[in-house]
Chain A
Amino acid sequence: MKHRGFWVMAGILVLSVLITSCIGRFPLTLKEIWEICTGTMQEAVKEDVFLKIRLSRAFFVGMTGAGLAVSGLVYQELLQNPLVSPDVLGVSGGACAGAVGAILMGGSALAVQASALAFGLLAVFLTIALSGLIGGQRTVNMILAGIVVKAVADAIIMGFKYFADPSRQLPSIDYWMMGSFHTVRWTEVRMVLPVVIAAFLVLWLMRWKLQVMSLGEEEARSLGIPAGRVKFICILAATVLVASSVSVTGVVAWTGLIVPHMVRFFTGDNLMKNFGICGCAGAVFMIWADTLARSLTAAEIPVSIITSAAGAVFLLAVLIRRRKRGEADT
């Protein structure tokens, strides 16, 4: 089959959604889910738990994971730098600052989203501009520029926190910033979904031009690709993906960096092929991380604790294997 990797991953995704939907303080069985789906379920509570809570959450979590993973892949390909991700480039930080600001001003959900997007974009373009200004080795200076931008974003967030009401607003901001999906219901999904689908679609259609861009901007331009515009549009779309997930759930660390690497690790370096696989893999990764986060302890813990821990282990494994294969210097 032509897209075998993608369909395998999609299958794993569906299975993951079904299995993780059974897990929780109110356990369900696969048989009960089958009954709910076929409409023969008698107990309304179970139906509500599955349809209104678990499924909406899985949907949103999957969307976020896919968005972060794909945006990570796009950033890495466009900037030709295997070490960048939404976190490293300061996009997450910028979007977070924007969202916190909007929350403190009492903005609507839409305003939070828009503000997250605006500041996320500002952050990523600032990082790219700064990395040009620093000069020196390209791979490293982009990361340094990202650190600078992230520091500024952190300063702004701290400023916001200082002025926040310590009893009501502060704890919720802190909790939100660590990344959590516990607030998610279908309303949040409906709010974010159209934007996310649009961004995915744009990137999906541009994926071939992205691959041409991997030859370097000059060569891409000699082939008639308007490199500057392609770059701008793709960064815009990738940032929309990050900002729309950040605006609802806060920063979820590491996913954007490691999922693309995990996919490359298993399927090789083909961008066209990896695009869909990466989306599915991001969703699977996030769904399991979220399931652990909400079921490991009696209370729900922030999902970033899980993704960071898993990320550190995976990254180490990938780096060690690269070294063993002698690619460490490339």
Chain B
Amino acid sequence: MSGGTVKLSAEKLNVWIGRKKILNDISFECRLGLVGLLGRNGSGKTTLIKAMLNLGCRHEGEVSVEMQKEGGEAVRVRLSGLSGRERARYMAYVPQELHSWAHCTVLDFVVMGRSPYLGWLQNPGKRDYNEAGEVLEALGISFLEQRYMDQISGGERKMAYLARARVQKAAWMLLDEPAAGLDFGRQHQFFEDLTKCLRESRTGAIVSIHDPVLAYTYCDQFLILKDGRMETMLSREDEDFEDMYLLQLERLYGRRAVFADTSEGRTMIWRRT
């Protein structure tokens, strides 16, 4: 993306699975950065991610990406009018788990990010592999190149996904619970790598996440989803952000949390009920 992106927005997104309506009238606009998607189990987080990627569920409404052109003017790209191949150049997907049938080396896996740029009968060539190799090196995981995806650790696998999304050159990355299944140290390592990666490539990401403390530590904006509706959208820059965040958490989980200042900076703890 030469000019760089500005915003990702959804307008009146309604989503059904089968006959059941899962999401109602979801509208939001995200600025560049890391956006945390919070909500309880079954509130429709995964469905929202899949609907934005146009993966199978019936939906209406519009998803669009606003791009900054060279001259400085903003252009809005509506994703519904695009083919799957073109859409993949705007949005990358990081699913919760690697498919159990997948068996390929990390390098082969990362090269798959080139597929929206390849023709119908075209296979990736030397240039594509070089590009994948460079990205792996930039992320500091070249040593994984020849290892198999199903034989590396969960954290390393997530890094391979990051590398692939970067090769895909998509403006926005949608990650479905990337922290799930990672241990404490790896969760933080992953979010540090993710934020660094986003800053370097000037792209944005939406992550669905269950841990409000982790979200508070790394995310810039917060989408709160409740029973298939957008409850609200918070930004770290809002004046009363911290109070609003605590309020929303209490509404979601029925528990109060407070902020506590420690010598290592500000954190959040749950109050005993």
Q: Smallest Cβ distance from A227 to chain B, in angstroms? A: 9
Q: How far is the CA of A229 from the CA of B83 in the complex (A)?
A: 13
Q: How far is the CA of A216 from the CA of B101 in the complex (A)?
A: 8
B108 proximal to A (CB < 8 A): yes
- Residues from chain A with Cβ under 8 Å of B55 in the complex: 218, 221-222
Chain B stretch 76-115: residues in CB contact (< 8 A) with chain A: 83-89, 91-93, 95, 98-105, 108, 112-113, 115
Contact among B88, B95, B112 for A218, CB-based, below 8 A: B95
Contact among A80, A211, A216 for B104, CB-based, below 8 A: A211
Find out whether the CB atom of B89 lies under 8 angstroms from the CB atom of A215.
no
- Residues from chain B with Cβ under 8 Å of A216 in the complex: 95, 99, 101-102
Find out whether the CB atom of B99 lies under 8 angstroms from the CB atom of A219.
yes
B121 proximal to A (CB < 8 A): yes
Chain A stretch 170-226: residues in CB contact (< 8 A) with chain B: 205-209, 211-212, 214-216, 218-219, 221-226
B273 proximal to A (CB < 8 A): no
A330 proximal to B (CB < 8 A): yes
Find out whether the CB atom of B103 lies under 8 angstroms from the CB atom of A214.
yes
Find out whether the CB atom of A225 lies under 8 angstroms from the CB atom of B101.
no
> How many residues in B have their beta carbons less than 8 Å from beta carbons of A?
34
Q: How far is the CA of A225 from the CA of B113 in the complex (A)?
A: 11
Contacts known (A222-B88, A223-B115, A224-B87); A208 close to B103, Cβ less than 8 A:
no
Find out whether the CB atom of A214 lies under 8 angstroms from the CB atom of B99.
yes
Contacts known (A214-B102, A218-B56, A225-B84); A272 close to B113, Cβ less than 8 A:
no
- Residues from chain B with Cβ under 8 Å of A209 in the complex: 115
Q: Smallest Cβ distance from B71 to chain A, in angstroms? A: 28
Q: How far is the CA of A179 from the CA of B52 in the complex (A)?
A: 52
- Residues from chain B with Cβ under 8 Å of A211 in the complex: 104, 108, 112
Q: Smallest Cβ distance from B17 to chain A, in angstroms? A: 13
Q: How far is the CA of A223 from the CA of B101 in the complex (A)?
A: 17
B123 proximal to A (CB < 8 A): yes
- Residues from chain A with Cβ under 8 Å of B104 in the complex: 211, 214, 270-271
A165 proximal to B (CB < 8 A): no
Find out whether the CB atom of A222 lies under 8 angstroms from the CB atom of B93.
yes
Q: How far is the CA of A216 from the CA of B123 in the complex (A)?
A: 19
Find out whether the CB atom of A222 lies under 8 angstroms from the CB atom of B123.
no
- Residues from chain B with Cβ under 8 Å of A208 in the complex: 123-124
Find out whether the CB atom of A226 lies under 8 angstroms from the CB atom of B93.
no
Contact among B54, B89, B101, B116 for A80, CB-based, below 8 A: B101
B168 proximal to A (CB < 8 A): yes
Chain A stretch 244-300: residues in CB contact (< 8 A) with chain B: 269-272
Number of contacts between A and B (CB, 8 Å)? 76
Q: How far is the CA of A225 from the CA of B83 in the complex (A)?
A: 10
Chain A stretch 23-61: residues in CB contact (< 8 A) with chain B: none
Find out whether the CB atom of A224 lies under 8 angstroms from the CB atom of B116.
yes
B50 proximal to A (CB < 8 A): yes
Q: Smallest Cβ distance from B217 to chain A, in angstroms? A: 27
Q: Smallest Cβ distance from A314 to chain B, in angstroms? A: 21
* B109, closest chain A residue (CB): A215
Instruction: Provide the B5-38 mask, 1 if CB < 8 A to any CB of A, else 0.
Output: 0000000000000000000000000000000000
Chain B CB count within 10 A is highest, among A206, A212, A226, for A212
Q: How far is the CA of A115 from the CA of B211 in the complex (A)?
A: 59
B194 proximal to A (CB < 8 A): no
Q: Smallest Cβ distance from B164 to chain A, in angstroms? A: 8
Q: Smallest Cβ distance from B167 to chain A, in angstroms? A: 10
* B56, closest chain A residue (CB): A218
Find out whether the CB atom of A205 lies under 8 angstroms from the CB atom of B121.
yes
Find out whether the CB atom of A224 lies under 8 angstroms from the CB atom of B99.
no
Q: Smallest Cβ distance from B91 to chain A, in angstroms? A: 8
Find out whether the CB atom of A206 lies under 8 angstroms from the CB atom of B121.
yes
Find out whether the CB atom of B123 lies under 8 angstroms from the CB atom of A207.
yes
B53 proximal to A (CB < 8 A): yes
Q: How far is the CA of A178 from the CA of B159 in the complex (A)?
A: 52
Find out whether the CB atom of B53 lies under 8 angstroms from the CB atom of A222.
yes
Q: Smallest Cβ distance from A124 to chain B, in angstroms? A: 19
Q: Smallest Cβ distance from A186 to chain B, in angstroms? A: 31
Find out whether the CB atom of A215 lies under 8 angstroms from the CB atom of B103.
no
Q: Smallest Cβ distance from B257 to chain A, in angstroms? A: 34
Q: Smallest Cβ distance from A199 to chain B, in angstroms? A: 14
Q: How far is the CA of A224 from the CA of B86 in the complex (A)?
A: 7
Find out whether the CB atom of A222 lies under 8 angstroms from the CB atom of B92.
yes
Contact among A80, A205, A206, A212 for B115, CB-based, below 8 A: A212
Q: How far is the CA of A1 from the CA of B101 in the complex (A)?
A: 28
Q: How far is the CA of A271 from the CA of B105 in the complex (A)?
A: 11
- Residues from chain A with Cβ under 8 Å of B88 in the complex: 222-224
* B99, closest chain A residue (CB): A216
Chain B stretch 185-234: residues in CB contact (< 8 A) with chain A: none
- Residues from chain A with Cβ under 8 Å of B116 in the complex: 223-224
Contact among A205, A214, A219, A271 for B93, CB-based, below 8 A: A219
Find out whether the CB atom of A221 lies under 8 angstroms from the CB atom of B84.
yes
Q: How far is the CA of A270 from the CA of B55 in the complex (A)?
A: 27
Chain B stretch 53-74: residues in CB contact (< 8 A) with chain A: 53-56
Given A222-B88, A270-B104, 10 new contacts (CB under 8 A): A205-B123, A211-B104, A212-B112, A215-B99, A215-B112, A218-B50, A222-B91, A223-B168, A224-B87, A225-B84
List the 9 closest A-B pairs by CB distance, nearest first. A224-B88, A224-B116, A222-B93, A224-B85, A216-B99, A208-B123, A205-B121, A269-B103, A80-B101
Sample 6 A-B pairs with CB under 8 A, ordered by A number.
Answer: A208-B123, A211-B104, A214-B104, A215-B98, A222-B93, A224-B115
